[in-house]
Chains A and B, each alone.
Chain A
Amino acid sequence: MFPIEIREATKIYEGGVEALRGVSLQCAPGTVTAIVGRSGCGKTTLLNLCGAMDFPTAGEVRIAGMETSKLGDRELTSLRRHRIGFVFQFFQLLPALTALENVELPLLLAGAKDSAKTALDRLRWVELAEKAGSLPYQLSGGQMQRVAIARALVHQPSILVADEPTGNLDTASGEVILRLIRRAADEFGAAVVMATHSAEAAAIADVRIRMRDGHIESREP
């Protein structure tokens, strides 16, 4: 069983815009899948399906073996809470929480024990333990994204969804982030699916998928 299994997924938005056409995708544990393509090609929609944030109009999306369109709000919440981690282009840290609190939040939401200790461990993993008490606006872009990665991995998800994780960073910071994403797949065994424009990002992937007008144009290897 693959953490992410998509079969012939089609997504048509209200107003008739067809964002995806018969897309199929499988992501294995411990692998990084890069989705590349121009803006509007359907990358974000595909990521939304992978993160159980959206549902196909036709076809099937299975996350951790469960068909997402058949799940209720409670099951979807549980799925996101335990199986999926998200990394966004604009980091999306909660500005009111410190770095540590941002990382701890998913655990608190899940009611996990020893949340602060686990969160600090994850911050150490991204080498930012010394910034635990800092608020997001006190961090650089690269640091914010590292905190976001720590937050995404704090509950050891089987899936990591990353939307343009280096899109808002300089080259050096981008490289650090890409190394961390690679390590997430290697050390945590997460199935990483990443939308990107960057060739460097695509280079760390095990599988590269090129999309065009809502369908998969090519797949490597």
Chain B
Amino acid sequence: MKLFRRLILRPLRQDRTRTALSLVSIALGVAVVIAIELAGDAATGSFQSSLTSLVGKVDFEITANGGVDETYFAKLAALPIKARFSPVIEQPVVIPGHGSTTLYGIDVVAAATEYRQSDSGGGDLESMAVVSEDLASRLGLSKGSSIELRGQNRTRSFRIQSIADDKNTSWVGIDIAAAQQLLDHYGRLDRIEVFLGPHQDMDEARRAIRSAVPASWEVGTPGARSEENRRMLRAFRWNLRILSYISLLVGAFLIYNTIAVSVVRRRTEIGILRAIGVSSGGVLLIFLGEASMLGLVGSILGVALGRGLAAGLLGMISDTVNALFVTSAPGAIALPWTSVAAATLTGTFVAFLSALIPAREAAQVAPAEAMRRAVTEHRSRLRAGRNLSLALVCCFAAVLLCLAGPIDGRPVLGYVATLLAVAAAALIAPSFVTGLAFVLRGVLKRLFGAEGLVAGRSLVASLSRTSVVVTALATAIAMMISVGVMVGSFRETVQVWLNSQLQADIYMRAQAPATAGIYPPMSSQVPDIVARTPGVAYIDVLHALEIRYEGQHATLGGARTDVLRRHRTVRFLSGNADDIFRSLINRDRAIVTEPFADKHHVRVGDVLHLPLGGKAANLTVAGIYYDYSSDRGFILIDETTLLQYLPDQPITNVAAYLAPGADAVKVRHDLAARLADFPLLIAPNEVLRRGAVEVFDRTFTVTYALEAIAILVAMLGAANSLLALVLDRRREIGVIRCLGAAGGQVRRMILAEAGLLGLLAGLLGLALGMALSLVLIYVINKQSFGWTIQFHPPLLLLAGALLLVWAFTVVAGIYPARYAARLEPAETIHEE
């Protein structure tokens, strides 16, 4: 313990600034990792129906594409099993003046009397409502007060009978009959929930239920649904997770550097320790102990920081999940001890691993050699050739891995390829630093005189450390560049797609939050009213519904494909659009989105066997089209075909095309007046486009936040490393002062080094970032989500970002430069 305090803790305490910078680097790295994990869990972990708090735990759920025919309810109730069946309607509903919420239509009597014995009491069941505590507190509702709900054709008031203990989600529950009436949702249910009685065998119950319902229906457990949703989010979460590990990787480079510098600075100490009998293993332990201490303390700080950061990220991740994948209310952020332990261990282990190489070097070098820098640097230069060959091997392997397909639907090999690319950059870094410094040497001397000459040469003289700092910074910059190029390209692709997709002048849908998988129906009167409005030439309608295909969520839409054909709103991967659209009309043929085709390995000509409304539709795939609205996948068929299978399927969207010369603003106002009785959102084309781009930008906010943290870690690292370089060259700086350098010249020298470091890292990061962006766009993104993104690097933005990072690197050099300028030559010149 005494040795631990003297040999590990004391040096860390003595070098406070650098210890603090290293701790913050590790803490930030760990914080990002744990924050993404916790926020991801909270954002995606709440798929359990909010109804649980009202009706108790459900054993089975019976669902069907297009809804469950309620006539089967009686058949199920007559089954000779101990079970209660509860019909459920789950739809968005408008609360006039307060936006919308989720409406649950349930069998109130059964739910309240049989299972919960709640205080629902007597009274008129059809006018009773239960609201969640979240909604009650938002609207200031209390027991006995009333709430107004607006369906597509009518508005009704309900008396609040009780408030359910659910602080996280907003919902209102009313009797199933009242819900059907309010929503015009007669004859069909969204699902039937099954509650088994005591001692009822689950398998027996499932077999009995299966025998009573059409084969195309699904009988599953709520747990399976949650699992399925989590599976759907797997790629999204994996990508975030990998992104979050970049900060830790950058932190690892910096720990490596900290320990390497520590080894060099304590060379005399190593010599003395070896001379008094400390074994090479002992020396190894000292430095690994130092790194582990940094890792442990940094990780503990990181966990605390991460918990706070998770709260900030939760909203962003939740928005993305809802916009792109599946409706889910964010749950509370938990901090299980397993996560704390995992994060602490990861941080400590990363620090330990990062220190392994410099610590081993310290242990292996003979005391007499005592880690003289010239020797280390000379070795480092000798290794440059071998490293270049290794880098070449890494690049080659990365290319091969990129050509391979996904593993279990995940771009695992793509991730490995990115790691190999980073490794290649790390191996190239020493030669890159030497080469560029050589090329620039004349320029630097001419432009900056002695300061430029010394700055350029010093970076090469400290090659082993300079190249690590350059790699760390370059990795962070590469991440920024690659994600920037990917997002920029994606954004441009989406904008081009939106321009071709959104050809109508005015769009209408029922009022509800725009979340994936929710398609609130609108009144059947709406299309006629729109079509009759002066100035409207013709309309298109869409009947969209969430379906399950091969056990995964997807969207099925029925549209007037002839209108789509005329406006060429869809771009196909191959084939003639005109012919494809003509082939759809009134036939069992469909077109599918690229993500759907990718996910289900569907090609043109394949047949989709789709259970629809108790029947099985066999839809031949006529074409695959580009779509960037969601990665759930979309099957589009002609309206007539859809109505053959689901005759009552309501319309969810209406698009109006205006007659030439019609005044768009006037028509929109006219429409708003005519449709005032219906809770609709009416948006002109440009608003919809703008909204879509805003959703897109919001989706990537979390990515930008992660990038910013990685850059921050790298900046701290740059400051730390520059300070280390200064500390290590104290005597040299003293000599330069003796030779007549003014304090300002020394300051400029270090700032020039910082600038050069930033330039080197920027150039290497740019090259690595461009390579990584190709992997992201064509491998990871394609294999994760199935989207084809056109390569459109946002050059101006990237140039600006690079310049900013470079400026930050110079700023990071200010403290080390001031420190160097204040060094007293008399003190440093005689140091051993």
Query: Which residues of A are in contact with B by a Cβ distance under 8 Å?
Result: 44, 48, 51, 53-54, 73-74, 77-78, 80-82, 86, 88, 92, 94-97, 101, 105-106, 108-111, 136-137, 151, 155
Contacts and interface: CB of A to CB of B under 8 A. Distances in A.
A106 B740 contact: yes
A48 B826 CA distance: 7
Contacts of B740: 77-78, 80-82, 106, 109-110, 155
Contact of B461 (A77, A81, A95, A155): A95
Given A92-B829, A95-B373, A108-B450, A74 B742 contact: yes
A80 B740 CA distance: 5
B284 to A, nearest CB: 28
Contact of B458 (A82, A96, A109): A96
Interface in B358-389: 373-374, 377-378
B154 to A, nearest CB: 84
Given A92-B731, A95-B373, A108-B450, A137 B378 contact: yes
Given A73-B742, A96-B457, A109-B740, 5 more contacts: A92-B732, A94-B458, A95-B373, A95-B374, A109-B745
B449 A86 contact: no
Contacts of A101: 453, 457
Contact of B743 (A73, A92, A109, A137): A73
A137 B731 CA distance: 17
Contacts of A78: 740
Interface in B758-782: none
A101 B453 CA distance: 9
Q: Which of B374, B445, B743, B825 has the most CB of A within 10 A?
A: B825
B743 A53 contact: no
B735 to A, nearest CB: 4
Given A53-B825, A94-B457, A96-B458, A80 B738 contact: yes
Nearest to B373: A95
B732 A94 contact: yes
A108 B824 CA distance: 21
Contacts of B743: 73, 77
A109 B825 contact: no
B737 A80 contact: yes
A101 B454 CA distance: 9
B207 interface: no
B737 to A, nearest CB: 7
A106 B739 contact: yes
Is chain A's binding surface mostly helix, strand, loop or mixed? helix
B449 A111 contact: yes
Nearest to A154: B739
A151 B739 contact: yes
Interface of B: 373-374, 377-378, 445, 449-450, 453-454, 457-458, 460-461, 731-732, 735-743, 745, 824-826, 829-830
A88 B737 CA distance: 14
Contacts, number: 82
A97 B457 contact: yes
A161 to B, nearest CB: 9
Contacts of B374: 95, 136-137
A78 B453 CA distance: 20
Contacts of B445: 108
Contacts of B830: 44
B735 A92 contact: yes
Nearest to A110: B740
Contact of A86 (B453, B454, B738, B824): B738
A110 B745 CA distance: 10
B829 A97 contact: no
Q: Which of B449, B736, B739 has the most CB of A within 10 A?
A: B739
30 contacts: A48-B826, A53-B738, A53-B825, A54-B826, A73-B742, A74-B742, A77-B740, A77-B743, A81-B739, A86-B738, A88-B829, A92-B735, A92-B829, A94-B454, A94-B457, A95-B374, A96-B457, A96-B460, A96-B461, A97-B453, A97-B457, A101-B457, A108-B449, A108-B450, A109-B449, A109-B740, A109-B742, A111-B449, A136-B374, A137-B378
A44 B737 CA distance: 17
Nearest to B749: A109
A108 B735 CA distance: 14
A51 B731 CA distance: 16
A51 B449 CA distance: 25
A105 B449 CA distance: 9
A217 B826 CA distance: 25
Contacts of A86: 735, 738-739
B398 to A, nearest CB: 34
Contacts of B458: 94, 96
Q: Which of B450, B461, B825 has the most CB of A within 10 A?
A: B450
Q: Which 7 A-B pairs have the closest CB atoms?
A: A81-B740, A96-B461, A96-B457, A108-B450, A53-B826, A77-B742, A92-B735
Nearest to A137: B374
A85 to B, nearest CB: 9
Q: Which of A48, A92, A111 has the most CB of B within 10 A?
A: A92
Nearest to B458: A96
A73 B740 CA distance: 11
A73 B461 CA distance: 29
B736 A105 contact: yes
Contacts of A77: 737, 740-743
A111 B449 CA distance: 8
B545 to A, nearest CB: 70
A3 B736 CA distance: 22
Contacts of B378: 137
B449 A94 contact: no
B739 A105 contact: yes
Contacts of A96: 454, 457-458, 460-461
A94 B736 contact: yes
Contacts of A137: 374, 378
A88 B378 CA distance: 24
Nearest to B743: A73
Nearest to A91: B735
